[in-house]
Amino acid sequence: MAAERRAQTTWHGNLAQGTGTFTVGSGSVGPQEVTWNARTEQPDGKTSPEELLAAAHASCFSMALSGSLARAGTPPRRLETEAVVTFDKVGDAWSVTRSALTVRGDVPDMDEDAFRAAAEDAKDNCPISRALKGNVELSVDAALA
């Protein structure tokens, strides 16, 4: 069974001075303001598509890693994941160029090498990573806490 999720944005004005707001279909987020300055300069309390992508990637990766660790018989007590998404001008076009994941895990009865291998697998195979693969540089820095 396929799952569909929705979001809606309304934009007013030109790119540089305009503003937009978005809401998500679940109602859990929004309305939130987005602006060009929040993407390229200071967020000033606003968000950006790249920040939302970072949240999606960190969440997706954490779920994938948690699931694989549990299937291996070593469920985590805690995973703390940060994703840093880079938005940069490449040639004449702005692009998402990188998503760098950092994860620290509390996983009883697991050694560092096994944890790093599980994190690499989750980085390569979570659905958001698979959507980005081939277009965005992906990396993971994994260690046990």
- The CA distances from residue 48 to 10, 55, 105, in Å, are 14, 11, 28
- The CA distances from residue 108 to 75, 92, 114, 121, 128, in Å, are 8, 48, 12, 19, 27
Do 55 and 34 lie in one domain? The reply is no
**pTM, full prediction:** 0.94
For 21-80, the pLDDT digits (tens) are: 999 999 898 799 999 999 998 888 999 999 999 999 999 999 999 999 999 999 999 999
Q: Is residue 99 scored above 90 in pLDDT?
A: yes
How many domains does the chain fold into? 2
Question: Residues 130, 106: contact at Cβ < 8 Å?
Answer: no
DSSP 47: B
Do 137 and 70 lie in one domain? The reply is yes
Whether 1 is covered by a domain: the verdict is no
Do 93 and 36 lie in one domain? The reply is no
